[in-house]
């Protein structure tokens, strides 16, 4: 098979993998394509944790046609017992001739074991096709499987001069419809959303995913003093148990009981410098098997996340508007005194959404 064809089939595997976005945690997103004599005979993807892995789904569809075929996967086949048996055994039994994997599995329980088993069985192996793309779609899994805490995305929307609202607090709408639709696509893919108490009180957000066929992530408010009113829309959504309020030890017990009676969760942590520290929250989310979270505001919460160095990726949407110095800034002080101490973004990309543009990068 030519390099171009290998990349073509791997791109299809990646598109299939993304169908499971937001639904496979704590597992990675994986797509599979079976090809025989340059003809696709079956495809599959991992739909959700506990169900068939991508290669198993494709092999079941292919049946006997899988014998002698080439299997394309964006991630190395697993070779250990989890909720499901090792996929390598099924690949070998099916008589697959060649496996093309986008990347080695970062899971310490796998990390090359699947590839070695397949090679010992006489299956031809190629690894590293579109490796950068394969690593990107499972960047959250890569962090989680090694550190057991979620991948953290910081998303902010601002005017061109870095303001997230006017002096009166008006922020609807800074960005255009295209940008907001993209945010809902992101909500469909991440496991949880986080906002601070200020955003929860001022904006009364729903933090839901409003795209056809989308699913709602967990919704979390960091509220050290439990300021959020019990009438907030977050407590009156479908699946109220997906709303979590994280508060401090001095929060009023009666209000905690009321929120819990509405079906939502309340967690309590010791505060630090008047706010909820991220480290214990991330550890608890990791124990729940959540791979990715997106911080959606506001400036206080965003700044705290950056100060505590928990942010892995930033998504900053900018609208071609000017609000002025009396507007609310997107970030508060990071206590940076010298330019050489600035937080530097890596692998920066820029996308357009109508008149808006998105700057993304990694910290």
- Tokens coding 230: 């019990």
Q: Which residues make Cβ contacts (< 8 Å) with residue 192, sequence separation at least 6? A: 150, 217, 218, 219, 220, 285, 290, 292, 293, 294
Crossing angle (nearest 10°) for helices 3-17 and 54-62: 110
CA distances from 18 to 14, 144, 172 (A): 6, 18, 31
Measured distance CA(166)–CA(107) in Å, rounded: 46
Q: What residues contact 323, with CB distance under 8 A and at least 6 apart?
A: 159, 161, 163, 165, 166
* Residue from 55, 76, 131, 296 carrying the catalytic annotation: 55
Within 49-191, strands assigned E span 70-73, 98-101, 124-127, 151-159, 163-165
55 annotated active-site: yes
User: 217 with 238: CB under 8 angstroms?
Assistant: no
Q: If we measure between CA atoms, which residue out of 126, 129, 44, 128 comes closest to residue 87? A: 44
Catalytic residues: 55
């Amino acid at each position: 098979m030519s390099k171009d064809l290998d990349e073509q089939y791997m791109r299809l595997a990646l598109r299939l993998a993304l169908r499971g976005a937001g639904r496979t945690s704590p597992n990675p997103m994986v797509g599979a394509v079976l090809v025989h004599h340059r003809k696709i005979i079956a495809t599959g993807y991992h739909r959700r944790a506990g169900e068939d892995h991508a290669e198993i789904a494709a092999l079941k569809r292919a049946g006997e046609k899988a014998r002698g075929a080439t299997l394309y996967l964006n991630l190395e086949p697993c070779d250990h017992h989890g909720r499901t048996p090792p996929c390598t055994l099924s690949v070998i039994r099916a008589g697959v001739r060649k496996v093309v994997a986008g990347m080695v599995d970062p899971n310490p329980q796998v990390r090359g074991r699947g590839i070695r088993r397949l090679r010992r069985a006489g299956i031809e192996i190629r690894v590293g096709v579109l490796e950068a793309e394969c690593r990107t779609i499972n960047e959250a899994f890569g962090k989680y499987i090694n550190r057991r805490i979620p991948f953290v995305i910081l998303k902010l929307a601002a005017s061109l001069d870095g303001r997230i609202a006017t002096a009166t607090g008006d922020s609807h709408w800074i960005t255009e419809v295209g940008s907001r639709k993209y945010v809902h696509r992101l909500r469909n893919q991440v496991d949880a959303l986080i906002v601070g108490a200020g955003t929860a009180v001022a904006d009364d957000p729903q933090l839901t995913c409003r795209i056809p066929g989308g699913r709602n992530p967990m919704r979390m408010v960091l509220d050290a003093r439990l300021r959020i009113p019990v009438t907030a829309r977050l407590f009156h959504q479908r699946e109220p148990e997906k709303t979590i309020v994280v508060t401090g030890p001095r929060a009023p017990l009666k209000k905690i009981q009321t929120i819990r009676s509405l079906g939502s969760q309340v967690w309590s942590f010791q505060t630090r410098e008047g706010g909820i520290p991220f480290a214990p929250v991330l550890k608890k989310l990791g124990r729940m098997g959540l791979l990715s979270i997106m911080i959606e505001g506001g400036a206080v919460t965003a700044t705290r996340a950056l100060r505590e160095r928990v942010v892995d990726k930033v998504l900053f949407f900018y609208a071609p508007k000017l609000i002025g110095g009396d507007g609310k800034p997107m970030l508060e002080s990071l206590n940076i005194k010298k330019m050489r101490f600035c937080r530097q973004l890596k692998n920066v990309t820029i996308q357009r959404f109508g008149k808006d543009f998105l700057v993304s990068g990694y910290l």
